[in-house]
Structure 1
Amino acid sequence: MNTVEMLRLFEEVAEQYVKALDGYSVEQFTKKPAADEWSLGQLYNHLIQSAIYMQIQAIEQCASGNGVVDGDKTENGVMIIGAGKFPPISIKVPDSPQYTPANPESIGEVKPKLLQLINQVRELEPTLAAISPDQKMPHPALGYMNAVEWYQLIFMHFVHHLRQKEKLDAFVQA
């Protein structure tokens, strides 16, 4: 899949997230199914923060020539990036201040960040062709990936969380 197609697919899925924002009350958006589960707001914050502070930062490191040349993907990384999607499983990590996203106080604080992220992803696409595929940055589970693979991961991550969003949508509508 080329980067133009990745962008198109990302825009489609991101638009689903944007449109859904208009259908939630603040209470629905911040309500958690259980103490150890995320609210819709936390899910949105996770997607935004992961894209900005992990995926886009990795792309920028590759672009600046500060990546690693000798890294490889893990077996899972080869499989997942090759398939262009995560397996349909829930991935649960322990709560921690570094990983657990904050519950937003309002939808109004999330929507502009999401729209800004979408623009950032659009602006990145035409720069990717100039980034050496030899420049890679490590992902904690997938191994070393180049800028295009990190870009693909943004879309894949949004799609991966659609199942979680659907469950949360059902929970807040019940």
Structure 2
Amino acid sequence: MDTKVVLQKFEETATEYIHTLDQYSPEQFAQKPAPDEWSLGQMYQHLLTFTTYQISLIEKCANGQGEPGGQKTDWGQKLFEKGDFPPIKIKLPDRPEFTPENLTDPKQTKEQLLDLVEKVRGAEPKLASAPVENKLHHPRLGWLNALEWFQLIPMHFRHHLHQKRRLEEECCSRGGD
């Protein structure tokens, strides 16, 4: 797997997220379509938080802090074979640690996302020397090495595009009210 291609796919998807941030008012960004659904701000916060976490796992695997062996789950194996998440809603547990902060400032979020893109770019060169046997556990996908954690970044961003477009339709087409 060419890591430069993976990085390019991430950058293309991240660019869509970055450019649309200019279109949201703070009210639209924070508006939840329903009490049990995320706002755009929460979705962006989820991407920022989880990608930062993934980068830390890439660095741990590259630095030999992973564990040898370990396999992907069946679902993880299928995900990586396909190269994308299925177009379904994936519900995280309804617990505080899985509920992202509701961001309200699209401009600040844009700066955070631009910073995140730089961090992902910085992680890519580390993959060449990362031992493939060093793996860390993902609760749903199983054991992943540095390259697989890196591949997961653009897959995760593309997966949330469906949610982003739905939230834009529900919250932004009504002018935020």
The DSSP-based 3-state class of the residue aligned with 1:114 is helix
RMSD: 0.9
- Cα distance per residue 1:4-36 (max 9 Å; x no partner): 100000000000000000001001000000000
The DSSP-based 3-state class of the residue aligned with 1:138 is strand
Match of 1:30 in 2: 30
Match of 1:65 in 2: 64
The DSSP-based 3-state class of the residue aligned with 2:143 is strand
Pairing of 1:1-16 with structure 2 (within 5 A): 1-16=1-16
- Cα distance per residue 1:22-57 (max 9 Å; x no partner): 00100100000000000000000000100002x112
Following superposition, the deviation at residue 100 of structure 1 comes to 0.6
Following superposition, the deviation at residue 96 of structure 1 comes to 1.7
Pairing of 1:155-170 with structure 2 (within 5 A): 155-170=154-169
Distance across 2 between alignment mates of 1:40 and 1:26: 10
Match of 1:104 in 2: 103
Distance across 2 between alignment mates of 1:27 and 1:124: 34
Distance across 1 between alignment mates of 2:114 and 2:95: 27
| Alignment of 1:48 onto 2:53 | no
Distance across 2 between alignment mates of 1:160 and 1:118: 17
Runs of 4+ with >6 A deviation? none
Following superposition, the deviation at residue 109 of structure 1 comes to 2.7
Instruction: Give the unaligned 5+ runs of structure 2.
Output: none
When you count helix as a share of all residues, which structure comes out higher? 2
| Alignment of 1:138 onto 2:137 | yes
Instruction: Give the unaligned 5+ runs of structure 1.
Output: none
Following superposition, the deviation at residue 97 of structure 1 comes to 1.6
Following superposition, the deviation at residue 94 of structure 1 comes to 3.0
Contact 2:127 2:146 in 1 (8 A): yes
One-letter code of the match for 1:27?
A: E
Distance across 1 between alignment mates of 2:103 and 2:47: 13
Contact 2:21 2:107 in 1 (8 A): no
One-letter code of the match for 1:167?
A: R
Following superposition, the deviation at residue 62 of structure 1 comes to 0.3
Following superposition, the deviation at residue 105 of structure 1 comes to 3.0
- Cα distance per residue 1:63-101 (max 9 Å; x no partner): 111101021111111110121101111011232221110
